[in-house]
Amino acid sequence: MSSAWIRLDSKTAIDDLMTAFAGFHDACLREVSIATETYVDERGAMSCPAHLDTSTLLFFQSQGAKNRAIELYCEGISFIRVSPTPEGHDSILSSAAISRDGTVYRLALSFIGGALIGPPNSSVEIVPSDPSVSPDIEVRAATMSWRPIQGAAGPQRRYRSKSHEGA
């Protein structure tokens, strides 16, 4: 069951999201869906809007947040980057920053990115990077909204069925 979208239109709204989702710490990006309004019609004619027509849905899950799963909806995207973690490293988020510069919102997320398993009888110290400086995931958009997703913890996907794997 999904809730109504909560627009990130003030510092308070951003702070409320960061509190509700524990600052994205010990969370993971489960899925991303990107769409545009550009299309080819039945006659083969291309339709291209003159405005920023790219939007994205990001589905996150968290170990320690009050809300175990959320969606973030970004419209009017001017930049998006998702840098996967290297082989043998985790994809656990360590930190996040959401800011607004004029009319552009910026979401910046950093992975812990450490090795999944260390040598026997060893410990690994991982120092999280500052997401505002060198984020692993970054989205810049005209608007951002979020909503908690009840009952969405676990391995199920929201945007792609298991039948699409290996296609």
84 neighbors 145 (Cβ within 8 angstroms) = no
User: What is the overall mean pLDDT for the chain?
Assistant: 87
Residue 143 lies in a domain: yes
Residue 101 lies in a domain: yes
Residue 120 lies in a domain: no
pLDDT tens-digit readout, 133-161: 689 999 999 999 999 999 999 998 889 87
- The amino acid that residue 75 corresponds to is E
CB atoms within 10 A of CB 135: 22
Residue 53 lies in a domain: no
8 neighbors 98 (Cβ within 8 angstroms) = yes
Distances (CA, A) of 106 to 54, 100, 101, 135, 141: 15, 6, 8, 11, 7
Q: For residues 42-47, give the mean pLDDT.
A: 96
Per mean pLDDT, which range of 52-56, 73-77, 117-121 is the poorest?
Answer: 117-121
Number of structural domains (the chain) is 1
Task: Report the pLDDT value the prediction gives residue 70, as an integer from 0 to 100.
Answer: 96
Residue 16 lies in a domain: yes
Residue 107 lies in a domain: yes
Helix (H) or strand (E) holding 16: helix 11-20
Residue 13 lies in a domain: yes
Token pair, residue 64, equals 């320690």
pLDDT tens-digit readout, 83-138: 988 887 888 998 899 999 999 999 999 988 766 556 666 655 555 555 566 899 99
Q: Which residues form the domain of 96? A: 1-37+62-115+128-151
136 neighbors 111 (Cβ within 8 angstroms) = yes
